[in-house]
Amino acid sequence: MPSLLPPSRRHASLVLAAALILTAGCRGKHSRTTVENEEPPEGGPRMASALKMNDPDAPAQLIKGFYGVESGTWRWTAKNFTAILRPPLTAAQRGATLTFAISIPDVVIQRLSNVTLTASSGTTKLKSETYSKPGSYTFSADVPPDLLIKDAITLDFALDKAIPPGSTDSRELGIIAIAIGLEAK
């Protein structure tokens, strides 16, 4: 049976009917459930215990001294750089091991002869290591439990020297960072 309403009124009637059906819903009493999780209040990504430098969420935890991703996997650092990581479960009781996958480019050794990397957290020095040959390395250091009792640990890194900005690259260049993480003992 054809409708007696003009097309514009027929459309308005259908929209009104759909709105009434959608808002009618269940009107019973329901209890509210609070869900607690580790997500930050802003709704962003959860802080990680380990990061690959090409992770799209990594910049939120690379506080200073890290440059943009290059070749899709790594980043140059400056002379001083800082990252923040979430301590792994049980690390506050037993401590953790910091692992930092790095590369010392040939150009750094040619220009600087060697470079010393020092890691610390606050006033606590974790470890220093000197590199005098180009190549890939894993810098590792013990992190005592008392540094891991909070929701995050700030890790400060310092190189004793870096390649100063020049005509071919305006950045201060330290080492190449590939991945960083904390592993519970």
How would you write the pLDDT of the chain (185 residues) with one tens digit per residue?
455 545 544 444 444 444 434 344 444 443 333 333 334 445 556 799 999 999 999 999 999 999 999 999 999 999 999 999 999 999 999 999 999 999 999 999 999 999 999 999 999 999 999 999 999 999 999 999 999 999 999 999 999 999 999 999 999 999 999 999 999 99
pLDDT for 53 equals 98
CA distances to 85, 134, 141 from 93, in Å = 17, 37, 17
Distance in angstroms (rounded) separating the CA atoms of residues 52 and 101: 9
pLDDT of residue 46: 79
Q: What is the pLDDT of residue 174?
A: 98
Q: Which of 109, 110, 111 has the alpha carbon at shortest distance from 131?
A: 109
Q: Count CB-CB contacts under 10 A for residue 152.
A: 12
Alpha carbon distance 184, 89 (integer Å): 7
Residue 71: the pLDDT is 97
For domain 50-184, give the fold. Answer: Jelly Rolls (2.60.120)
